[in-house]
Amino acid sequence: MKIATSTEELRSLLGTSRVDGDIHRRVALVPTMGCLHAGHARLIHKARQLADIVVVSIYVNPLQFGPHEDFARYPRNFEADKEVCDTEGADIIFHPNNLYPEDGPKITLRVRDLGDVLCGAARPGHFDGVASVVAILFHIVQPDMAVFGEKDWQQLAIIRRLVADLQLPVEIVGVETVREADGLAMSSRNRYLGDTEQEQAKSLSAALRAMQSLAASGENQGYALIAAGHSVLLAAGINPEYLEIRQADSLQGLATLEGYPARAFVAAQFGSARLIDNIPLESI
């Protein structure tokens, strides 16, 4: 496994390995902000199955953090990350110091509509920062495919739209959320949780599962499904930032499950950890 800390290094590593005689070797990129856990391991594993060359980028992107968010204290542990990448068979880690000019970026992307709802409502500019850095990473690595986790479903929907709108030749692969035994979705921010918060946080997935089974039993009215989710959260003493049902691709709000692939989305604050989760809803 090789480590590149600059765009030039990365390009020269990939330049020699991408072509093998007449054979084009497929490159998969797994973009991350480090602090890798079992969820990331699954993404790298998937990339390994699909591509000849696996690049994992590790970069805590300042552009996607608001002024009062956790950029400075976001957990960083490059030594442990290297081990995860190695174990999962990554070929290259791209670990740049900074991806932006010294005086900050003057040109960035703006995500309309999709970036203003759900997490975007509470984190203005967050998805502009995500889309901008992912576009830069795609430009540097020029991957054939890129692998993202479904835990960040809104991000995944935005990246799919990014490649469509900018006509980028990158296949986007989504990988199912990896969960703790109690249902809590794996997240780098789970390490901010104390014992009591950890106990409370599992009700996020419990609320979503309650909505999913109610939908599977035939309920297709959004208000009834949301009420079911709220009652699970309320019992755990959680007042969510949002609990919503939306179309899976466009992220438009839905009053009933009829006609569109739908998902339920939830976000809540537990001490200093803001956690999110989502689940597909299917009515019979």
Binding residues for ligand PAF, rule: CB under 6 A, are: 31-33, 61, 64, 130, 133-134, 152, 155
In the bound state with ligand PAF, the residue whose beta carbon lies nearer, of 64 and 205, is: 64
Quick one: tokens of 83?
């081990």
For ligand PAF, the closer CB: 114 or 257 = 114
The β-bridge relationship of strands 53-58 and 27-32 is parallel
Kindly list the distances between the CA atom of residue 127 and the CA atoms of 179, 213, 224, in Å, as whole numbers in the listed order. Answer: 24, 31, 30
What's the rounded Cα separation, in Å, for the pair 80 and 199? 26
- Cβ 2 to ligand PAF shortest distance, Å: 20
Q: How far is the CB of 49 from ligand PAF (least distance, A)?
A: 20
139 noted as active-site residue: no
- Among 40, 95, 126, 230, which one carries the catalytic annotation? 40
Nearer to ligand PAF, 91 or 152 (CB): 152
Q: How far is the CB of 194 from ligand PAF (least distance, A)?
A: 23
Among residues 80, 98, 47, 114, the alpha carbon closest in space to that of 188 is found at: 80
User: What is the per-residue burial (b if ≥16 Cβ within 10 Å, else e) of 48-76?
Assistant: beebbbbbbbbbbbbbbbeeeeeeeebee
- Contact residues for 202 (Cβ-Cβ < 8 A; gap 6+): 180, 182, 183, 184
Nearer to ligand PAF, 154 or 220 (CB): 154
Taking the complex as a whole, the smallest distance from the CB of residue 137 to ligand PAF amounts, in Å, to 8
State which residue, 233 or 265, has the beta carbon closest to ligand PAF: 265
**Catalytic residue positions, numbered:** 40
